[in-house]
Structure 1
Amino acid sequence: MRKILIIFVFVLGSCGLYAQDQAIAHQYFNDGNFEKALVYFEKLHRKNPMNQNYIRSLVYCYQELDRLDDAENLLKEQLTKSPVSPVTYIDLGYNYGLKGNEKEEDACYDKAIASLDERPSYAYSVGHTFKNKALLDEAIRAFKKGMELDPNLNFNYDLAYIYGEKGDLENMYETYLDLIVDRSNLKENIKRNIGRFIFDDEDAESNALLRKILLKRAQTQPNILWNELLSWLFIQQKHYRSALTQEKAIYNRAEEPSLDGIIDLGMIAYDDNDMETAKSAFDFIREHTSMADTKLEAELYLLKIRILSSTPDDYAAIEKQFNALLETYGANQTTVALQLERARFSAFTLDNGAEAVKILKTMLEEPLSKYERASVKMELGDILVYMEQFNQALIYYAQVQKEMKNDVLGQTARFKVAQASFYKGDFEWAETQAKVLKSSTSQLIANDALQLKLLISDNTLGDSLQTALKIYAKADLMAYQEKDEAAIALLDSLLVNHKGEDIEDEALLKQASLFRKKGEFEMAEKNYVKIINFFADGILMDDALYELGMLYMEDMNSPEKAKPLFERLIFEHQDSVYFVEARKVYRKLRGDVLE
Structure 2
Amino acid sequence: MANYINKYIYIVKIISGRTLSITVGLLLFVFAGFQANAQSQEQIQLANEYALKGDKKKALELYREVARDVDDVSLFYNNYINLLIDMQLGDEAQAFLKKLSKRDPQNIQYKLDLGLVYMRSGDMGKADKHFKELIAENKNNVQRVKVISDYFLSHTLPDYGILALTESRQAMANPYLFCLDLAMLYRIKGNQDKMVQEYLSYVTQSSANIQYVKNVLQALLTKPDELESLERLLYDKVQQYPDVEVYADLLIWVTMQQKNFYASFIQARAYDKRYKREGEKCMEVARVALDNDDYDNATKIYRYLIKEYPNSQNYLLARLGLIRTREERVKKTFPVKTDSVRMLINDYRTFIKQYPDNLNSLEAAKSEAMLYATYLDQKDSAIHLLNRLIANPKASQFLKAKAKLELGDIYMLKGEPWESTLLYSQVEKTQKENVVGYDAKLRNAKLSYYKGDFRLAQEHLDILKQATTREIANDALELGMRIKENIAFDSTGAALKDYASVELLLYQNKTDEALARIEKLKTGVSDSGQTISNRTILDDVYWLEANIRMQRGEFDKSLSLLQKIITEYGEDILADDAYFLQGEIYERQLHNREKAMEIYREFLTKYAGSVYAAEARKRYRQLRGDFNPTPPAQPQ
Instruction: State whether TM-score is above 0.5.
Output: yes
Structure-to-structure mapping, 1:53-92, within 5 angstroms: 55=77, 58-63=80-85, 67-81=89-103, 83=105, 88-92=110-114
Counterpart position of 1:243: 264
Paired position in structure 2 for 1:526: 564
Taking structure 2 as the reference length, the TM-score comes to 0.71
Shift of 1:42: 7.8
**Equivalent residue, structure 2, for 1:501:** 532
Q: What CA distance in whole angstroms lies between the structure 2 residues aligned with 1:185 and 1:360? A: 40
The unaligned stretches of length 5 or more in structure 2 are 15-29, 331-336, 467-472, 585-595, 616-636
Aligned to 2:200: 177
Structure 1 segment 417-456 matched on structure 2, within 5 A: 417=444, 419-420=446-447, 423=450, 426-427=451-452, 430-431=453-454, 433-443=456-466, 444=473, 446-447=476-477, 450-451=480-481, 454=484
Q: How many Å apart are 1:115 and its aligned residue?
A: 1.9
Q: Which amino acid aligns with 2:105?
A: P
Cα distance between partner residues in 1 of 2:51 and 2:290: 50
Deviation by residue 1:66-122 (Cα, 9 ceiling, x = unmatched): 554443332232344463656544422222222222222222223223324786774
Please tell me whether residue 157 in structure 1 is matched to residue 180 in structure 2: yes
Measure the CA separation in 1 of the matches of 2:295 and 2:51.
54
Partner of 2:542: 511
Aligned match of 1:252: 273
Amino acid aligned to 1:447? L
Tell me which residue corresponds to 1:227.
Answer: 248
Q: How many residues align?
A: 551
* Per-residue deviation, 1:52: 7.2
The one-letter amino acid paired with 1:376 is A
Contact 1:24 1:40 survives alignment (8 Å): no
| Counterpart Cα distance in 1 of 2:385 and 2:53 | 68
2: CA distance, partners of 1:399 / 1:170: 52
Is the aligned partner of 1:303 residue 2:330?
Answer: no
Change (3 A) 1:460 1:339: farther
Give the alignment's Cα RMSD to 1 decimal. Answer: 4.7
2:340 aligned with 1:314, yes or no? yes
Q: Against the structure 1 CA distance between its residues 381 and 125, is the aligned structure 2 distance closer, same or farther, given a 3 Å change threshold?
A: closer
Equivalent AA in structure 1 for residue 325 of structure 2: I
AA aligned to 2:316 is L
In the TM superposition, residue 327 of structure 1 has moved relative to its aligned partner by 0.8
* Structure 1 residues 364 and 139, CA gap change in structure 2 (3 angstroms): closer
Q: Please, which of 576, 600, 604 is the counterpart of residue 559 of structure 1?
A: 604
Report the structure number with the largest CA radius of gyration.
2
Given residue 386 of structure 1, which amino acid in structure 2 is its aligned partner? L
Query: For residues 521 and 80 of structure 1, what CA distance do their matches in structure 2 show?
Result: 79
Q: 312, 325, 336: which is aligned to 2:362?
A: 336
Q: Distance in 2 between matches of 1:46 and 1:285?
A: 79
User: Is the partner of 2:221 in helix, strand or coil?
Assistant: coil
- 1:450-483 deviation per Cα after TM superposition (whole angstroms, max 9, x unaligned): 35754885798568xx5x5665344213432466
1-side partners of 2:364 and 2:43: how far apart? 66
Once the two structures are superposed, residues 418-452 of structure 1 have per-residue CA deviations (whole angstroms, 9 ceiling, x without a partner) of 544654xx43xx33531431442454375366357
Q: 1:28 to 1:338 in 2, by over 3 A?
A: farther
**CA distance, structure 2, for counterparts of residue 334 and residue 215 of structure 1:** 36
| Sequence identity percentage | 20
Pick closer, same or farther for the CA change 1:143–1:276 going to 2, 3 Å.
same
Quote how far apart the aligned CAs of 1:407 are.
5.6
Letter in 1 for 2:185: I
Structure 2 match to 1:187: 210
Q: Which runs of 5+ in 1 are unaligned?
A: 534-540, 567-580, 586-595
CA distance, structure 2, for counterparts of residue 23 and residue 409 of structure 1: 59
2:630 corresponds to: none
Q: Greater relative contact order (Cα 8 A, min sep 6): structure 1 or 2?
A: 2
Give the Cα separation in 2 of the matches to 1:300 and 1:515: 33
**Could you say which residue in structure 2 is the equivalent of 1:326?**
352
Match of 2:235 in 1: 215
Q: Hey, what's the Cα distance between the residues in 2 that align with 1:305 and 1:193?
A: 31
Distance 1:250 1:406, change over 3 A: closer
Between the aligned partners of 2:385 and 2:96, the Cα distance in structure 1 is 83
> Residues 353, 54 of structure 1: CA spacing in aligned structure 2 closer, same or farther, 3 A cutoff?
same
Aligned partners of 1:61 and 1:549: how far apart in 2?
A: 58
Question: Residue type matched to 2:324 in 1?
Answer: K
Looking at structure 2, the residues matched to 332 and 251 of structure 1 have their Cα atoms a distance apart, in angstroms, of: 25
Alpha-carbon separation, structure 1, partners of 2:496 and 2:539: 14
Give the secondary structure class of the aligned counterpart of 1:336: helix
| Distance change in 2, residues 1:329/1:102 (3 Å) | same
Q: Determine the C-alpha separation between the residues in 1 that align with 2:380 and 2:55.
A: 76
Partner of 2:469: none
1:227–1:246 CA contact under 8 A, matched in 2: yes
Using the alignment, how far apart are the partners of 1:548 and 1:24 within structure 2? 63
